[in-house]
Amino acid sequence: MIRSKYDHKVLLAVRAGRIDPRLLVSTLSLCQRMAAGLDILVLAEGDELPAEVADLVTALREGGVVYTLTQKPNLRRRDIVDYANSHACISTVVIDSLEGWESVAANRASDPWAKLACPLVTAAPARTPNHETN
């Protein structure tokens, strides 16, 4: 069976204020290598997209990547896992980091990521080491 670019998707979940442009470029590249579409969940208040996401949408259009975009004022870890597990076409979930989602999760004692039915890719931004100067 030949797979078309519509057979599977990557799910990207990002939070306004924590969007690393390198994560978006990597996600776009992953979609192109996998010949996959992209579902984007954005945690952001208001109606306006964060600039980085707007730039990604432009790149997706130019790259011919099929995508959907949903902006939500509340987005918990459990919501991401439920979305991915309820859409059979989701083959990979990409997030910026495991850290920080707990602050918007209703139940911090649970680990919804453990229930995810597909691979989870995290791409925390590189941290610069602290250098002491004399």
| Segments making up each domain of the chain, as ranges | 9-122
Look at 99 and 10; give whichever has higher pLDDT.
10
Fold held by 9-122: Rossmann fold (3.40.50)
| Contact (Cβ atoms closer than 8 angstroms) between residue 73 and residue 44 | yes
Residue 48, exposed/middle/buried by CB under 10 A (0-12, 13-18, 19+)?
exposed
- Chain mean pLDDT for the chain: 82
**98: confidence class by pLDDT, cuts 50, 70, 90:** confident
Our CA angle for 40, 58, 98, nearest 5°, is: 30
User: What's the pTM?
Assistant: 0.82
Amino acid in the structure at residue 88: A
- DSSP E strands: which ranges in 22-130? 37-43, 67-72, 90-95, 120-122
Kindly tell me the burial class for residue 75, based on how many C-beta atoms sit within 10 Å of its own C-beta (0-12, 13-18, 19 or more). Answer: buried
Count of other CB atoms within 10 angstroms of residue 43: 22
pLDDT band, residue 97 (cuts 50/70/90): confident
Distance CA 60, CA 85 (A): 24
